[in-house]
Amino acid sequence: MSREKVTILDLQQMKERGEPITMITAYDYPSGILAEQAGVEMILVGDTLGMVVHGFESTVQVTMEMMILHCAALHRAKGNYFVVGDMPFGSYEIEPRHAVRNAIRLMQEGFVDAVKLEGGREMAATVRAIVDAGISVHGHIGLTPQSVSKLGGFKAQGKTGAAAKKLLDDALALEDAGCFAIVLEAVPDRVAAAITERLRVPTIGIGAGAGCSGQVLVWHDMLGLFDRFTPKFVQKYGDAGQLITDGLSTYVKQVKSGEFPTAAHSFTIKEAEWQNFQRLLNEPDHE
Ligand code: KIV
């Protein structure tokens, strides 16, 4: 059964009535189709695609071109979820006008409904500039993978009273600048809940406990498709990696043994045409 397109208004109302929002990362056409069938409300075309799809060590190498390619592929699935596209490292930090130009590209060429960028108060002017250009912005604070080297690694954030207060101030500054939602990544659950209570806009948690307005997980982590490193906060909901390896191994075995393909997978030729072919094979070639 198809549903209406999810809007920012729907997400806001979900927060207000306490209905948890579901978000999942997805990076291409088949994933979009599956996510729509599952009824997910929000898709994040996250720059995690640099790690889980392209095999980079971090998200820092992801470019605008990569983001646009994946956003456009996801768009072709025509799901009714709300789509957020990540602004990659280097696409929004230089100055607000540069950020606005790149956000416009993600909308026009990637067909996203909103863009997401990482950072707190220091990004408020940039968020405001993008929002003023008519583009919805999703914030992201806590563990911000694009600045992982500055943070000293993939570590939980907001673990002291002062750090937790700074996170709250960052969240309030982003809300004030016009963000319609904010990702809280790797933040103690009580801190995330306290931030969520003080914001009007929804929070989407990843490793931030059940007190957020919604949850997001990375597709490849939750479905067993990326085993190089699994954060503590990942719940595995299936082992698609094992399923795919089993299928591929059986395929290799069956081709080697001659079990595949069978007549059922083959095309036929009419007997008369076959005889015609045989006759042509036996005729000497004419110069
Ligand atoms: O890029 C991404 O997938 C993200 C999520 C981890 C929130 O930003």
CB atoms within 10 A of CB 16: 11
Which residue CA neighbors atom 1 of ligand 1 most closely? 46
Average pLDDT over residues 134-150: 96
Same domain, yes or no: 216 and 252? no
Distance 85 CA to ligand 1 centre (A): 10
Percent of the chain with pLDDT over 70: 99
| pLDDT score of 44 | 99
Q: Quote the number of domains for the chain.
A: 2
Flag whether pLDDT at 286 surpasses 90.
no
Residue 221 lies in a domain: yes
Q: Specify if 136 maps to a domain.
A: yes
Pocket of ligand 1 (CB under 6 A): 25, 44, 46-48, 86, 140, 183, 185, 206, 216, 218
- Helix, strand, coil share (%) of the chain residues, nearest 5: 45, 15, 40
CA of 247 to the centre of ligand 1 (A): 29
Q: What does DSSP assign to residue 103?
A: H
Position 188 in a domain: yes
Number of the ligand 1 atom closest to the C-alpha atom of 48: 1
Segment 215-272, tens digit of pLDDT = 999 999 999 999 888 889 999 999 999 999 999 999 999 999 999 999 999 999 999 9
Q: For residue range 178-231, what is the model confidence (pLDDT) as tens digits?
A: 999 999 999 999 999 999 999 999 999 999 999 999 999 999 999 999 988 888
Q: Residue 287: its pLDDT value, please?
A: 56
The model carries a pTM of 0.95
Asked if 85 and 218 sit in the same domain, the reply is yes
CA of residue 133 to ligand 1 center, whole Å? 24
Domain span at residue 81? 8-238
Nearest residue CA, atom 3 of ligand 1? 46
Residues 260 and 208 both lie in one domain: no
- Among the listed residues 109, 185, 197, 283, the single catalytic one is 185
24 plus 68 within the same structural domain: yes
Answer yes or no: is 186 within a domain: yes
The answer to whether residues 47 and 171 belong to one domain is yes
| Statement to judge: residues 178 and 257 lie in one domain | no
Specify whether 171 is located in the same domain as 232.
yes
Task: Tell me: do 118 and 161 sit in the same domain.
Answer: yes
CATH number at residue 80: 3.20.20.60
CA distances from 207 to 149, 190, 245 (A): 19, 12, 29
Expressed in angstroms and rounded, the spacing between residue 47 Cα and the centre of ligand 1 is 6
Asked if 185 is an active-site residue, the reply is: yes
Tell whether 227 and 251 lie within a shared domain: no
Domain check: are 263 and 233 in the same one?
no
Structure tokens at 98: 């540069």
- The number of the ligand 1 atom at minimal distance from the alpha carbon of 116 is 8
Task: At 131, list the tokens.
Answer: 């929002």
- The reply to whether 33 falls in a domain is yes
Neighbouring C-alpha atoms within 13 Å toward the C-beta of 177: 30
